[in-house]
C-alpha cells in the first residue's frame, strides 16, 4: 500500500475533568478520533499533529494528552500551537527526539517517499504566529536538501487570509509573504498543511495548495464578517487523511470522527439496487 498519513489538529486537551471554555470536555473527542483512526481500512503510517495539543500548555494537560494518544499503533509527530508550552511538551514526550532540546520545533521526517518538513510558527505568550528570518532560512535549506522528493510542509498558523476576521487577527502576522515567495520557487511541494482554524479551508499558495483541517472537538464558527465574533460550535469534527499516489501525488480526504451506519452496497448482481 502507498504511504498514508493522518493530520490531527487542535485537540485542546485539559486536565482530566476540566472543561475548555467552561463547557467543553475535549478528551472524549480525541478518544473517538484515535478510535476512528484505528478503524481506517488502510492504516496510516504516521499521524502528524499540527498544534494546540493542549489548552494551556500545562504538564498535567500533556500527561493527559499522552494517555489519550497511547492507543495509536503508528508513530505520531507533534508540533506546537499558540496554546502549547514547548518546554512542557518536550518534558512530557522525552522519547520524541525530533523535538530537540531547545529552540524552534522544526524538523524533517521521512514518510515513505514524502519528506515532511515542519515549521514552528509560535510566538511566546502570544496567540498570533510568526516566521522570522531564522525559521525561513532553515526552511530554505530543508527545501534545497529535499529538492528531488515530494514535500509536505506542516505548521500551526495558516499563512493565508481565511476571511474569518477574528482568526485572521491572530493569524501568521509575520513571514507569510516571504514564505509564499519561497514556496513558489519549488515545484515539489505537494501541500502546506495547517491547524489553528478548526475547520477545513483550502487556498492556492505559491506553487502549491495550503489548507487547514477540522479539529476533533470544537470548530471555529463559519462567519466571514471581518468583525465576526470569536465563537466556536460543535458541528461535526474530524481529521485529514493524506494518501500518496505515485502517479497523482498527494490525494487528501477529510474524515469525520465516530461511527456511522453502513457501509451498504450500491449494487446487487451487477445492477444498481432499485
Ligand atoms: Fe486551536
Ligand atoms: Fe491555534
Gap between the Cα atoms of 108 and 145, Å rounded:
10
Residue 248 forms part of a structural domain: yes
Residue 274 forms part of a structural domain: no
Q: Which ligand has an atom closest to residue 80 CA?
A: 2
Please give the distance, rounded to the nearest whole angstrom, from the Cα atom of residue 241 to the centre of ligand 1. 19
List Cα–Cα distances, 274 to 92, 263, 271, in angstroms. 56, 17, 8
Burial label, 33 (beta-carbon count in 10 A; 0-12, 13-18, 19+): buried
Please give the distance, rounded to the nearest whole angstrom, from the Cα atom of residue 107 to the centre of ligand 2. 19
Mean pLDDT of 172-176: 98
Mean pLDDT of 142-162: 97
pLDDT range class, residue 241, cuts 50, 70, 90: very high
Please give the distance, rounded to the nearest whole angstrom, from the Cα atom of residue 51 to the centre of ligand 2. 7
Q: Which ligand has an atom closest to residue 213 CA?
A: 1
Please give the distance, rounded to the nearest whole angstrom, from the Cα atom of residue 106 to the centre of ligand 2. 17
Residue 12 forms part of a structural domain: yes
All three cell numbers of 171, joined, read 493569524
Residue 265 forms part of a structural domain: no
User: Among 204, 203, 205, 230, which Cα is nearest to 219's?
Assistant: 230
What residues make up the domain containing 90? 4-260
Contact 50, 25 (CB under 8 A): no
Q: Considering the entire predicted model, what is its pTM? A: 0.97
pLDDT at 1: 64
∠ CA 9-14-50, nearest 5°, is: 15
Whether 2 has a pLDDT exceeding 70, the answer reads yes
> How many domains does one find in the chain?
1
Average per-residue pLDDT in the chain?
97
Task: CATH number of the domain at 199, please.
Answer: 3.60.21.10
Digit-coded pLDDT (tens) for 189-200 = 999 999 999 999
Please give the distance, rounded to the nearest whole angstrom, from the Cα atom of residue 268 to the centre of ligand 2. 47
Residue 270 forms part of a structural domain: no
Q: At what angle do helices 59-69 and 27-38 cross, to 10 degrees?
A: 30
pLDDT range class, residue 124, cuts 50, 70, 90: very high
Residue 147 forms part of a structural domain: yes
Mean pLDDT of 51-76: 98
Residue 108 forms part of a structural domain: yes
Residue 191 forms part of a structural domain: yes
Amino acid at each position: 500500500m502507498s504511504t498514508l498519513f493522518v493530520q490531527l489538529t487542535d485537540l485542546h486537551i485539559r486536565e482530566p475533568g476540566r472543561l475548555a471554555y467552561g463547557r467543553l470536555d475535549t478528551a472524549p473527542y480525541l478518544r473517538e478520533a484515535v478510535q476512528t483512526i484505528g478503524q481506517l481500512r488502510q492504516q496510516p503510517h504516521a499521524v502528524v499533529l499540527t498544534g494546540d495539543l493542549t489548552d494551556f500548555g500545562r504538564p498535567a494537560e500533556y500527561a493527559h494528552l499522552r494517555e489519550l494518544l497511547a492507543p495509536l499503533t503508528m508513530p505520531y509527530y507533534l508540533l506546537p500551537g499558540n496554546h502549547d508550552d514547548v518546554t512542557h511538551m518536550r518534558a512530557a514526550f522525552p522519547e520524541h527526539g525530533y523535538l530537540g532540546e531547545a529552540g524552534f520545533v522544526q524538523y524533517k521526517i521521512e514518510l515513505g517517499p514524502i519528506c515532511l518538513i515542519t515549521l514552528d510558527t509560535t510566538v511566546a505568550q502570544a496567540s498570533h504566529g510568526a516566521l522570522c528570518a531564522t525559521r525561513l532560512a532553515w526552511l530554505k535549506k530543508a527545501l534545497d536538501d529535499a529538492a528531488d522528493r515530494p514535500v509536505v510542509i506542516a505548521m500551526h498558523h495558516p499563512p493565508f487570509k481565511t476571511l474569518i476576521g477574528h482568526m485572521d487577527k491572530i493569524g501568521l502576522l509575520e513571514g507569510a509573504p516571504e514564505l509564499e515567495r519561497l514556496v513558489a520557487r519549488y515545484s515539489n511541494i505537494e501541500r502546506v498543511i495547517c491547524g489553528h482554524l478548526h475547520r477545513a479551508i483550502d487556498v492556492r499558495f505559491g506553487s502549491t495548495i495550503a489548507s487547514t483541517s477540522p479539529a476533533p472537538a470544537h470548530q471555529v464558527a463559519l462567519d466571514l464578517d471581518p468583525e465576526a465574533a470569536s465563537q466556536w460550535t460543535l458541528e461535526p469534527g474530524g481529521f485529514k487523511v493524506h494518501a500518496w499516489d505515485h502517479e497523482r501525488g498527494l490525494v487528501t480526504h477529510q474524515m469525520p470522527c465516530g461511527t456511522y451506519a453502513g457501509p451498504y452496497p450500491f449494487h446487487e448482481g451487477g445492477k444498481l439496487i432499485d
